[in-house]
Structure formats: structure tokens, C-alpha cells
A = this chain, B = another copy of it.
Amino acid sequence: MSTAAEATTRRRRKDARPQELLDAALDLFVEKGFAATRAEEVAQRAGVSKGTLYLYYPSKEELLKAVIREHLGSRIAAGEAAVDQHDGTSADLLREVYSHWWQAVLASPSSGAFKLIVSEVRNFPELAGFYQREVVEPGERLIGRIVQRGVDSGEFEPVDVAAAVHSLVLPMVMLCLHKHSLGACVPHQEGFDAVVFIRQHIDLVLRGLARHGAPAARRR
């Protein structure tokens, strides 16, 4: 093996470590909570020893913050573009962009990060500002723009936009929390499918938003 290849092999492992540790940490922090997760467990799940964890993250707390940053760092940008380009109805826009996005989040490990925020903010108040800035505000702004667009075009009733946004978003977040709390404990309720529910919820809200006299939101 050449020196370059050697270095590469070693490098490859080293480069992969932080991600492996973050993945392990997310799983365990979400499952057991930060305080109840031992640093060594995280290391073991990542396939390294206790000491190695500390080569990459200076403390368990910094590891938590890195996990949060990774999974809740701004991901809204893509959505913004979609909103700008869309030229159909606001109802379609919401159904497309929004329900797809939440399905993806729910299916991804990032869904657990919401539980982490809920469980740990009060112990690590720095997280509050980060979450507010990176998730809450851009998220509400994005959905708010869509709703406002519908109101402006006469497609929706002139509702309180912020409230409508909450009606749309809160159940989605709750689905994420549920997935990693009760949902992981009880046998799946027959007949409940989160993905189906997302669509149903949007439909219901869209019917609530629809302007009287305007055509009702189409069922697909």
C-alpha cells in the first residue's frame, strides 16, 4: 500500500467518525434522554471506545449540541424556492411542498431531534435560541407565506395567518414527538398511518381555510 493510500484509509475512518458518533448519539439521546445516556454507550454504538468519543467532541454536552445542529440546522431554504416558483393554487402548494416535507422529516432520524428539543431545552437554554432561529421562525415564515398567498389571491378566507400556521404545524411536530415516545412503545394502532394523516389534516385545514363561494379545496 502506498503512503497515500495508507493515509487515505486512516483518513477515511477518521473522517467518518464524527458522523458515526452523531448518529449513535441521536439515537440514544432521543431514546433515553440526554442525562440517562452514558457517553460510553454512545461510543460503543458508534463502534469506538469511550476515549475516542472525546477525541471528536469535548464533552457530552457539546455532542448534544452538535446533534441538534446537524438535524435542525436550516433546511427550510429548499422550501422557500419551491414557494417562489409555484404557480398553481395555494392549496396545491401546501399539499405538495408541505406534506412531502413532513413525510420526509418524519421518516428521517431528524424527527427525533424535535423530541430532543422538547426534552432538553430547559436544561440547555442555548438550544432555545438556536431552535427558534433555525426552525421555528423560518418554518413559520415559510408556511405563513403560503397561507398569506392564498388569502391574498382570494383562495382562502382572510384568517389569522399565524394561527392557521400553528394549526398546520403543531400536529406535524407532535407526530414527530409521538414517533419517538409513545409510538415507539405501544403496538402500532391499527388503522393509524402518519403519512395518511398528514394528508387528511391538510385537507381538513384547507377546507377550513377555503373561501365561501370559492370552489372547495379538491380532494385528490
User: In angstroms, how far is the closest chain B Cβ from the Cβ of A163?
Assistant: 4
Residues of B within 8 A of A186 (CB): 128-129, 132
When each residue 63-100 of chain A gets 1 if its CB lies under 8 Å from chain B and 0 otherwise, what string results?
00000000000000000000000000000000000000
In the complex, which residues 118-170 of chain A have their Cβ closer than 8 Å to any Cβ of chain B? 118-123, 125, 128-129, 131-132, 136, 157, 159-160, 162-164, 166-167, 170
Is the beta-carbon distance between B204 and A121 smaller than 8 angstroms? no
Is the beta-carbon distance between B159 and A117 smaller than 8 angstroms? no
When each residue 166-200 of chain A gets 1 if its CB lies under 8 Å from chain B and 0 otherwise, what string results?
11001101110100111011100001100011001
Q: Which residue of B lies closest to A191 (CB)?
A: B162
A18: interface (CB < 8 Å): no
Residues of B within 8 A of A120 (CB): 33
Given contacts A118-B119, A174-B171, contact A136 B182 (CB under 8 A): yes
A48: interface (CB < 8 Å): no
Mostly, the A contact residues are helix
Given contacts A33-B33, A204-B205, contact A166 B197 (CB under 8 A): yes
A105: interface (CB < 8 Å): no
Residues of B within 8 A of A207 (CB): 157, 207-209
Complex Cα–Cα for A135 and B93 (A):
36
Complex Cα–Cα for A207 and B196 (A):
21
Given contacts A119-B33, A121-B185, A192-B162, contact A177 B177 (CB under 8 A): yes
User: In angstroms, how far is the closest chain B Cβ from the Cβ of A207?
Assistant: 4
Is the beta-carbon distance between B170 and A174 smaller than 8 angstroms? yes
A35: interface (CB < 8 Å): yes
- Please report A residues at the B interface, Cβ cutoff 8 Å: 31-36, 115, 117-123, 125, 128-129, 131-132, 136, 157, 159-160, 162-164, 166-167, 170-171, 173-175, 177, 180-182, 184-186, 191-192, 196-197, 200-201, 203-209, 212, 216
